[in-house]
Amino acid sequence: MSSEIKFTEDTMKNFHIAKTFNVNKDRINAMNFSLDGETLISSSDDDSIVVYDCKEGDTKKTLYSKKYGVDLIHFIHGTEQVLHSSTKVDDAVRLLALEGNRYVRYFPGHTKRVVTLTICATEDTFLTGALDNTLRLWDTRVPNAQGILTLPATNGVSGRPIANFDPEGVIFAVGINSSMIKLYDIRHFDKGPFTTFRPVLQQDPTDQQEQWTNMKFSPDGKMISIATNSTSLHLIEAFQGLSIHKFMDITNDTQQPLQACFSPDSSYILCASGDNRILIYKAETGEKVAELQTDHTGPVQSIQFNPAFLMFASAHTNMLFWLPMIDNGINDGS
């Protein structure tokens, strides 16, 4: 992250839509920034993969995965290759070389749709979770899973598995049945979790359908956000599960798997809402500092902050680039 970037309350309040892209015909299901912040890639339910130039504010190329479909796309080893899950034919994860639109390797094993894909900081290891009630740990150089975790069911029913690596790539967290979190040391994952806790969340007792849909470590590794298919976003302490805040200004009438993201300095959390808003909160106090109206035509399901520039992106069927307005123009954070 650039040392010149300053995340202040005024900056967060002054974000505005700087660029709108209307490349896709269907919902953008995932996006990912490159580590240097210069490139963004997205996947869509229309089987397209779009590469964006963040410095120029333009699209670079559009590819298609018509045969296998594409979801949960993520850069790996720079910007030349991506991993993505499949929506057609089978439930394998695929490693794609963008140059030539050529598949390098398949990672078969899941028997139902993959709903979680997260990359370790080392970029040779990744983790997937699927509706087949398993999590699988992979090495990008080997087509077979290096480890398989079978998740327990509650009353015979399995929830949506969620997982993510910590920023250092040493620990990964697994959310089970929307009630329990297990932490594993990647070096000794075969020995089981080193800690397990049930977060004491400020959950609405009338909402029996709330399901965890996404979890993320804060960039400083101290917090975990838990997004849901309800109207709540939970923020907990990363290693004990103590509740820090519950954000409740979210609208989600159709129970979409909404997402949230942290600013790169961990001081703010941005939350997507089903009514075309983006809500920005202070992570430390829980105070809402901004409420941004978008140009999306449906629920804002994908949102990510650029790791190197003062910008973030949000998506539905269109992609929006957001920059803060300052007195003498637009600050691109570079």
104 C-beta neighbours (distance < 10 Å), count = 11
* Pairing outcome for strands 114-119 and 125-130: antiparallel
CB contact set of 155 (below 8 Å; sequence gap of 6+): none
Dump pLDDT digits (tens) for 252-297: 777 777 789 999 999 999 988 878 889 999 999 989 999 998 988 8
Asked if 1 and 333 touch (Cβ cutoff 8 Å), the reply is no
Lowest-confidence pick of 82-86, 212-216, 309-313: 212-216
Dump pLDDT digits (tens) for 35-55: 999 999 999 999 999 999 999
Side-chain-side CA neighbours of 281 within 13 Å: the count stands at 22
**Phi, psi (deg, nearest 5) at residue 11:** -60, -45
CB contact set of 231 (below 8 Å; sequence gap of 6+): 207, 248, 250, 251, 252
Q: Provide the percentage of residues in the chain whose pLDDT is more than 70.
A: 91
Asked if 128 and 116 touch (Cβ cutoff 8 Å), the reply is yes
Whether the predicted pLDDT of 208 surpasses 60: no
Give the chain's domains with CATH numbers. 40-272 (2.130.10.10)
* Pairing outcome for strands 212-217 and 195-197: unpaired
111 C-beta neighbours (distance < 10 Å), count = 12
Q: Would the CA dihedral through 307, 305, 47, 162 be positive or negative?
A: positive
CB contact set of 327 (below 8 Å; sequence gap of 6+): none
Q: What is the largest CA-CA distance in the chain?
A: 60
* C-alpha 34: how far from chain center: 13
Helices and strands (H and E) in the chain: how many:
1, 29
* Pairing outcome for strands 171-176 and 162-165: antiparallel
Whether the predicted pLDDT of 197 surpasses 70: yes
Whether the predicted pLDDT of 136 surpasses 50: yes
End-to-end alpha-carbon separation of the chain, Å? 10
Asked if 215 and 227 touch (Cβ cutoff 8 Å), the reply is yes
| Average pLDDT of every residue of the chain | 88
Determine the Cα–Cα distance for residues 94 and 159; give it in Å rounded to an integer.
Answer: 24
Edge-to-edge order in the sheet of strand 147-150: 114-119, 125-130, 134-139, 147-150
Dump pLDDT digits (tens) for 145-190: 999 988 876 555 566 789 999 999 999 999 988 888 999 999 888 8
Q: How far is CA 40 from CA 50, 52, 151, 190, in A?
A: 8, 5, 33, 34
Determine the Cα–Cα distance for residues 299 and 304; give it in Å rounded to an integer.
Answer: 15
Dump pLDDT digits (tens) for 3-35: 456 788 999 999 999 999 999 999 999 999 999
**Phi, psi (deg, nearest 5) at residue 57:** 65, 50
Asked if 184 and 172 touch (Cβ cutoff 8 Å), the reply is yes
Q: How far is CA 128 from CA 63, 84, 109, 139, 150, in A?
A: 23, 10, 10, 11, 12
Residues paired with 305 in a beta bridge: 312
Determine the Cα–Cα distance for residues 28 and 44; give it in Å rounded to an integer.
Answer: 4
Dump pLDDT digits (tens) for 234-255: 999 999 889 898 887 777 777 7
